[in-house]
Amino acid sequence: MREMTDEIARIMVDVFGVPPGRVGAATAFTELEADSLTLAELTLLLEQRYGVPVADGDLRPEHTVSDVAALLRDKGAAGGR
Amino acid sequence: MNGPTAVVAGLGATVPPHVLTNEMLAARLDTSDEWIRSRTGIRSRHTVAPGTATGDLAVTAGARALANAGMSTVDMVVVATATPDRLCPATAPEVASRLGLGPVPAFDVAAVCSGFVYALGVAAGAIAGRLAGSVLVIGADTFSTIVDPSDRTTVAIFGDGAGAVVLRAGVPGEVGGLLAFDLGSDGELADLIAIPAGGSRQRSTGPADPAAHYLAMRGRPVFVNAVRRMAASARAALAGTGWQAAALDWLVGHQANVRILHAVADGLGVPRERAVVNIDRVGNTSAASIPLALADAAAAGDLRAGDRVLLTAFGAGATWGSVTLTWPALPAVATF
């Protein structure tokens, strides 16, 4: 679980240009300066990375990084490769 | 298909002269150049003056493609459009007549932003089936005539234009040949991008709200579906050709949003610099977008004879489609 939250935080940092210190397990998307399409981009990246279907609308602005990790694990994603 | 192969013999494109910049939109709507550019990659788009119709742009693009091909006759005209001059009849017959092409079969293809790829597929089938030895395929749209001028989410995205190619019968393996198609649709997504009124469903249920005559679009699900479908369709066309994505010289995606184009390229493992992008100055021109992008890339000298090219699109319907081709040796293509 820890590994997965770390990796999702890293994806946010790398792909969306968020400062590294600003993303942790408890960080919600609403705290980041992400626009409405950022969640769409993250949906596609997570689906590709973890090989589980992520529906449009699964990720909500109020979700934290650890909420997203839990959601992916519920869908059967394995934590960290 | 065992019949003749469809080969690209000419290319032409046009946009109307009026330029609508982000600054002009920001002066009258709650938006900004930064807001539009960061979300879409668009800086400006061209829009028709009142009285100019899709067919007018289609005639100019068609004439340029015929001149580029050095041809004055074709056996068929196909116009891909979602903004026909009139609901009935189709736009293509009048375009064919205005181009002096005589009594050839002429019809519209309605697959919205995937329309140009669909029309190429129909035309290639007509050539392979020996229904036509040459086809003028035009993608033309004037979405400025159907967007709500006060809706910042659509008015900033769409622009007007037309692009055309001439296809002729050739032999398999010939440079310029269309190779493998993948076309598809999912009507369960029909409401994602739609004009609610103006068709038979609204007419049968009484008068509509005037706003129902404007285009409505749900941005986030469109984004997700566009990337998924374009990437999957592109993979299918590549597999049908026997090409690896890494071997592509150019990925020419429907110019819907630069972030969609980048996500598709990333998903396919194609470097972003191999993705043709001209959305910054034309916006999303629906069925015209792929031929406009091809004309821009050809005029810039980026597209060279023999290059391996993949066209891919997603649009309202939902529809999607991809086709692979090798780029032909064409006379210089004029910029527009």
CA–CA dist B305, B325 (Å, integer)? 11
Contacts of A36 in chain B (CB under 8 A): 39, 219-220
B254 catalytically annotated = yes
Residue A14 lies in a domain: yes
Chain segment B243-265, per-residue pLDDT in tens: 999 999 999 999 999 999 999 99
ipTM metric: 0.84
Closest listed residue to residue B198, CA positions, set B186, B184, B210: B210
Residue A35 lies in a domain: yes
pLDDT-derived band at B204, boundaries 50, 70, 90? low
Domain boundaries, chain B: 5-170, 178-326
pLDDT-derived band at B314, boundaries 50, 70, 90? very high
Q: Do A37 and B39 touch (CB under 8 A)?
A: yes
Q: Does domain B178-326 have CATH number 3.40.47.10?
A: yes
Please write down the HEC assignment for all residues of B150-210. Answer: CCHHHHCCECEEEEEEEEEEECCCCCCEEEEEEEEECHHHCCCEECCCCCHHHHCCCCCCH
Predicted local distance difference test score (pLDDT) of residue A57: 87
State which residue of chain A sits closest to B225, comparing Cα positions.
Answer: A56
B88 catalytically annotated = no
Residues B216-220 have a mean pLDDT of 91
pLDDT-derived band at A79, boundaries 50, 70, 90? low
State which residue of chain B sits closest to A36, comparing Cα positions.
Answer: B220
Chain segment B43-60, per-residue pLDDT in tens: 999 999 999 999 999 999
Chain segment B73-131, per-residue pLDDT in tens: 999 999 999 999 999 999 999 999 999 999 999 999 999 999 999 999 999 999 999 99
Q: Do A40 and B224 touch (CB under 8 A)?
A: yes
Interface test with chain A among B224, B228, B260, by most A beta carbons within 10 Å: B224
State which residue of chain B sits closest to A49, comparing Cα positions.
Answer: B267
pLDDT-derived band at A1, boundaries 50, 70, 90? low
Q: Do A44 and B220 touch (CB under 8 A)?
A: no
**Which residue has 């984004």 as its token pair?**
B223
Contacts of A44 in chain B (CB under 8 A): 224, 227-228, 263, 267
Q: Is there a contact between A65 and A24 (Cβ–Cβ < 8 Å)?
A: yes
B22 catalytically annotated = no
Is B200 a residue whose pLDDT tops 50? yes
Residue A81 lies in a domain: no
State how far residue A44 is from chain B, nearest Cα, in angstroms.
Answer: 7
Q: Which of A35, A43, A48 sits opposite B224 (nearest CB)?
A: A43
pLDDT-derived band at A80, boundaries 50, 70, 90? very low
Q: Do A37 and B223 touch (CB under 8 A)?
A: yes
Residues A28-40 have a mean pLDDT of 84
State how far residue B16 is from chain A, nearest Cα, in angstroms.
Answer: 30
User: B8 in helix, strand or coil?
Assistant: strand
Say which CATH number the domain at A53 has.
1.10.1200.10
Is there a common fold for B5-170 and B178-326? yes
CA–CA dist B321, B51 (Å, integer)? 32
First to last CA, chain B: 35
Contacts of B261 in chain A (CB under 8 A): none
Q: Do A37 and B221 touch (CB under 8 A)?
A: no
Domains: count for chain A: 1
**Which one of the listed residues B46, B113, B225, B278 is annotated catalytic?**
B113
State which residue of chain A sits closest to B153, comparing Cα positions.
Answer: A36
Q: Which of residues B55 and A34 earns the better pLDDT score? A: B55
**Which one of the listed residues B22, B257, B278, B284 is annotated catalytic?**
B284
Residue A34 lies in a domain: yes
Distance of CA B259 to the CA centre of its chain: 18
Contacts of A56 in chain B (CB under 8 A): 220-221, 224-225
Residue A48 lies in a domain: yes
Q: Is there a contact between B250 and B307 (Cβ–Cβ < 8 Å)?
A: yes
CA–CA dist B266, B230 (Å, integer)? 12
Is B146 a residue whose pLDDT tops 90? yes
Is A77 a residue whose pLDDT tops 90? no
Q: Tell me the CATH number for domain B5-170.
A: 3.40.47.10
CA–CA dist B322, B315 (Å, integer)? 12
Q: Do B219 and A39 touch (CB under 8 A)?
A: no
